[in-house]
Chains A and B, each alone.
Chain A
C-alpha cells in the first residue's frame, strides 16, 4: 500500500529564537496534523511497533482512537501500559524502538508514534480531562520505593493500581529524579513532569522528599518497619570524570552538576533564584549522548558565545537521539568528532582556560560493539575555553549498596537484579532502572519498573 502523504512534521520554535529562551522547542501537533499523521498507520494485525516498546504500549489501538478524533480516549489507552505518556512522547528514542519497526518505515518514513503519543497526552491534560483509573481494593500491603525517577514512579503507579499502599522516598526536594534535575525545560517542561507526578499521587502514592535512603533510613530499617517490600530505583547517581590533569579546575563541571544547577535549582533565572551558574564565554561539552546535547544546548541558552561538543568517536556512533543532535546543529553548536581531552589548563585563580586534546581514529569494535577510539600519536592540539561540562556517563551512587549488607552488586557497583522480576539477593527487595543497568533511557527504566511491579505484586500476594 502506498501511503497518502508524508510524515507530518511538528511545528517548532525557530533556532534563532529558541536559543534565547528555555521554552520547549517543538510546539506539538495540531488536531489536524495529528489526524493526518494517524491516518498513515496501517493498524497492522501483528504490530511490530509494540514489540519495539519496552512497556508494550498498544500503539495501533491508540492510533485508531486518534483517527476517530477520540484523543482523550487515546491517551487513556496508552496509560493502560504507560503512566507517563507526555514524558515518553517527548524523550523516548522512538527511532530506535517503536518507529524503527514500523512497517510504513520500510517504504517511507515511519508513523510518528512519539509525536502522536505526545499530542494525545497533552490534549488530555490541557482539556483537564485526565481520568484516574479505578484502584483495586486495598490489600493492606505497604511498599517503599527508593527514588522518584521514571523507574520509581512506574513501580509506584502500578502497585497503587493493584491496591497496595506505596510510599516513594526521594533524596532531593522535588520528585521526578532525572526528569527534573537532568532533562532541561526546553526538552521536557517541568509543569508536564509535575502533572504526571500528580497523576501518580492521585493513584494514592505518597511521596516523601528530602529522604536520603542509606542515611535517614536504611533499606533494612524500611523492611523491619512498616514496609512489606522495597523497590530501589535510585538511578545512576555518581558522575564519571576522565581522571586527567586539571579536572578539578574551577569551571569544569560534571553534566549532573551543570544540569542540576540549571534545571532543578533554576540557575538560569539567577539572581531571581540564588543558585549561580557561569554564563557566556566558550563552552566545551565532552561526550556524545543526550546528556551532552542537553548540556550544550543549555550553555547556549545561558548566553555562551560558542558551544563546542568534543566526542571521541565519529558522528555515527553518537548515542544521542537524532532529534537532539539535529536540534543542536540547527542551533549552531559545533561538533568536533574523533577528539578527546587529555588535560585541562587553569589560570592562576584555578579557573579553566584551555583544553589540550588529542585526535582519535576508530579501531576494532569494543565490548559495546562500537568501534574503539584509538589515540593518534603526536596529534595534540589545544582549544581556548571558559567552561567545560563533562557528560561521559555515570557510575552507580554507592549510598544504598554501602548501607545494605547482603545486597549483591556487580564489579561496577550496580545492583544485581533478575531481568524477569527485578528481584535482588535480598528477599522482598527489588531494583530496576539505571542503578541496575547503568545509564539508559527513561522508557527502559519504566520497563524495568513495570516488570518489578508485577513481581512485587506476586510476592505480596503470596503467589508463586
Chain B
C-alpha cells in the first residue's frame, strides 16, 4: 500500500500527487518510471517519476485523467492508498555535460521533461526550455521549468498564452540562434515527430521519451515494442528514451490507439484519447 501524502490539481484533469514509495524513492534516477495500480481491478499503467525525496521516502507523479485507471487514481484523496507501485523501471537518462541543451515538453509530457531537464542542469549544462499545449489551461509546471532553465519559452496552439504556435516554432528560433548540443522532447506523438523532423534538418541529436501501452514494465510481455532504427525494441527495458530520428512514430501512434475503441465504448468519457497519455 502506498499512501497519498498530497494531491494538487495543476490543470484541467491533471494532478500532482506525492505518495509513499520508499524503495522507489531510494533508487530512482531522472528518466525512470513506475508501473502502478490503484486497486485490484485496475490496469497496470506506467507513469514517469516527476520527483522524489529519498529522505522522506516519497515520489511525485503527475497524472492526467485519460482512462478508467487514471481516473481512479485522480479520485483518491490525501491519506488514501494506491495498491501497487513497482519500480524504478526503465533506464535512467544518460546525463553528461554537453553545453546547450534544449528541453521540449508538450502538454503533460512536461512532467517527463522536467526531471531530465533538472538532471542536465545539475550536471552543469545550459538548459533552454520550451513548454507547449493546445491552450493556456493545459500549460503545466511553468514555475518549476522556469527555475531550472536559462530561458523558458511557452507556446499555445490558440495563442491564449505565450506565443501562438507550436513548440517547433520556438525550437527553430533557439536552434538558429544557439549551437544546441542535444534536444530532448517529450509529449504527444505528433509533437515529438514534428520536433524530430525539424531537428533532423539541423542535424541536432534528439532524444525522445516514449510512453507506449505497457503491461508488466519489466521486459516480459512485449506490449511496449517500438521500431527504432528498423529494429524492434522494448520501451520498458531498452528505453524509455530513444534517438528520435530513428523512431517509427507512425507505428507508435497506431499502437497507442490499439484499444481506444474498446475503452471508449466502456468509459464513455469525453475526449478519451490514449495519445494524450504520453
A→B interface (CB under 8 Å): 171-173, 181, 209-212, 215-217, 237-239, 241, 243, 247-248, 250-251, 253-254, 256-257, 260-261, 265-266, 270-276, 278, 346, 349-351, 397-399
B254 touches A250 (CB 8 A): yes
A215 touches B222 (CB 8 A): no
Q: Give the complex CA separation of A239 and B87 in angstroms.
A: 21
Q: Which of B41, B89, B220, B251 has the most CB of A within 10 A?
A: B220
Q: Give the complex CA separation of A273 and B215 in angstroms.
A: 14
B87 touches A212 (CB 8 A): yes
Residues of B within 8 A of A172 (CB): 86, 216
Residues of A within 8 A of B227 (CB): 248
B221 touches A398 (CB 8 A): no
- Residue ID in chain A nearest B44 by CB atoms: A265
Residues of B within 8 A of A275 (CB): 43-44, 215
A-B contact list, 10 entries, CB within 8 Å? A181-B216, A216-B88, A237-B218, A248-B225, A257-B215, A257-B223, A265-B43, A270-B262, A350-B257, A350-B258
Q: A215-B87, A274-B41, A274-B68 are in contact. Are A397 and B219 (CB under 8 A)?
A: yes
A397 touches B87 (CB 8 A): no
Residues of B within 8 A of A349 (CB): 254, 257
Q: Give the complex CA separation of A153 and B68 in angstroms.
A: 34
A209 touches B84 (CB 8 A): yes
Residues of B within 8 A of A272 (CB): 41
Residues of A within 8 A of B41 (CB): 266, 272-274
Q: Give the complex CA separation of A59 and B222 in angstroms.
A: 40
Interface pairs A-B: 7 shortest CB-CB: A350-B254, A257-B221, A210-B86, A254-B222, A250-B258, A271-B266, A239-B222
Dominant SS at the A interface?
Answer: loop
Give A286 Cβ to nearest chain B Cβ, in Å.
14
Q: Does B229 contact A (CB under 8 A)?
A: no
Residues of B within 8 A of A238 (CB): 219-220, 222, 234, 237
Give A404 Cβ to nearest chain B Cβ, in Å.
15
Residues of B within 8 A of A276 (CB): 259, 262-263
Give A177 Cβ to nearest chain B Cβ, in Å.
10
Q: Which of B84, B216, B222, B259 has the most CB of A within 10 A?
A: B222
B→A interface (CB under 8 Å): 23-24, 27, 37, 41-44, 67-69, 83-89, 215-216, 218-223, 225-227, 232, 234, 237, 250-251, 254-255, 257-259, 262-263, 266
Give A389 Cβ to nearest chain B Cβ, in Å.
11
Residues of B within 8 A of A237 (CB): 218-220
Q: Select one of A243, A257, A351 contacting B222, CB under 8 A.
A: A257
B23 touches A261 (CB 8 A): no
Q: Give the complex CA separation of A212 and B220 in angstroms.
A: 12
Q: Give the complex CA separation of A274 and B36 in angstroms.
A: 13
Residues of B within 8 A of A257 (CB): 215, 221-223
B219 touches A398 (CB 8 A): yes
Q: Give the complex CA separation of A248 and B247 in angstroms.
A: 13
Residues of B within 8 A of A251 (CB): 258
Give A396 Cβ to nearest chain B Cβ, in Å.
10
B43 touches A215 (CB 8 A): no
- Residue ID in chain A nearest B250 by CB atoms: A350
Residues of A within 8 A of B226 (CB): 248
Residues of A within 8 A of B220 (CB): 171, 181, 237-239, 256, 260, 397
Q: Which of A171, A217, A241, A351 has the most CB of B within 10 A?
A: A171
Residues of A within 8 A of B250 (CB): 350
Q: Give the complex CA separation of A265 and B258 in angstroms.
A: 18
Q: Select one of A216, A274, A398 contacting B23, CB under 8 A.
A: A216
Q: Give the complex CA separation of A237 and B85 in angstroms.
A: 20
Give A399 Cβ to nearest chain B Cβ, in Å.
6
Instruction: Taking A216-B86, A265-B43 as given, write out 10 further A-B residue pairs in contact, using a Cβ cutoff of 8 Å, ordered by the A residue number.
Output: A173-B83, A212-B89, A215-B27, A217-B23, A238-B219, A247-B232, A250-B255, A261-B215, A349-B257, A350-B251
Give A250 Cβ to nearest chain B Cβ, in Å.
4
Q: Give the complex CA separation of A256 and B216 in angstroms.
A: 10
Give A135 Cβ to nearest chain B Cβ, in Å.
28
- Residue ID in chain B nearest A172 by CB atoms: B216
Q: Give the complex CA separation of A241 and B227 in angstroms.
A: 13
Residues of A within 8 A of B232 (CB): 241, 243, 247-248
A399 touches B237 (CB 8 A): yes
